[in-house]
Amino acid sequence: MAKPAKKIGRYKILSELGRGAMGVVYKADDPNLDRTVALKTISLEKDAEGRADYQKRFMLEAKAAGKLNHANIVTTYDFGEVDGMAYLAMELLEGTDLRKRVQQGAIPPVEAVEIGCQVAEGLAYAHGRGIVHRDIKPANIMLPERGPAKIMDFGLARMRLADHKTSTGIVLGTPRYMSPEQISGQPVDQRSDIFSLGIVLWEMLTGRRLFSGTEMAQVSHSITYDEHEPPTRVNPELPAMLDFVVARALKKDPAVRYQDADEMAADLHTCLAEMRAREDEEPGEGTRTQKLSVDGEPTIVGPPAAAILTDTRLPVSRHFDSTAALKRLGKSARGRAPRPVGLLRRIISDAPARRLFVVTVLGAAAGSFVAFI
């Protein structure tokens, strides 16, 4: 077994943070700037035939990542090659990655949507500079102890307009989080990252794996042909708009998917505002404040008794006082029930009614006269 490295380039190795298929990530000290960094390494000697390709991909990653300066993307400080090993010095974050968090179950909806917003905004920034991540998954999303979520490992990122392109049939990325076009080896763009983020968002909201399977063929078939279950069917407490956002992000056809991450981030912000408003509107009925009296006995402090009474009046009726009208009615009645008004009394006392009666009689007479002529 090889002895662990004590120094790589100018960086002093402090501990090992993790291992991947292509290399090791160390916690290291940068003596030039007096700061601690995460040092990602790739051994170029393990595959002599593929060394040139690995080296080219790694350097491309460094150049691409070095252009990105955003609150939701891990900062890249330096890159280089020494003794058959390429290295990349990055911002060291204290916290946990989203993979470990999701393994514990569904994330609270508001927090899950917040993370989705932050990742979408980071992707929008990268996409705007021609960089596609190609490997968005929970393990590549860091949740620092303080601050927003950050996208890690642009190890498979490519410049859309660069000369170096993936060969036909070579699939790059993590199968379970790939887009249909990525699975089939077709050219990919920013919409592939959006599909992957849709999978991550679904898993955060439900606490389940979306495209499961024990073999690559099963996973590939599910991603290409199987429709997902709406998140609200798994968790009815979620707002219905999240079904729309997830469904649009997971469209099999890139042409009808979200066309850019900014658009997805905007819809997620709308969902977040709705969810927070719903939380604010939740009634606090049944809550009481309990305080101790002088003798130590608890005293229940609740709303005033008058506030408990229910006002059943219609909103408009609150602006009218019927007391005066009732007094006038009482005076006119003089303690007796009002007498019915007869037709003859109405004709004699009411001028309009009298005129109507005269016109009606004259009209009837004229009609009779014409009938008998």
Give the integer Cα–Cα distance in Å for 83 and 81: 7
Helices (H), the chain: 51-66, 98-103, 109-127, 180-183, 190-206, 216-225, 231-234, 241-249, 261-281, 305-308, 323-333, 343-349, 351-372
Cβ count within 10 A of residue 37 = 22
| C-alpha–C-alpha distance, residues 346 and 293, integer Å | 72
- Catalytic residue list: 135
Tokens of 187: 């050219």
Residue type, 233: R
| CA 230 from centroid of its chain's CA atoms | 14
SS3 24: strand
Shortest CA distance to 113 belongs to which of 15, 241, 214?
A: 241
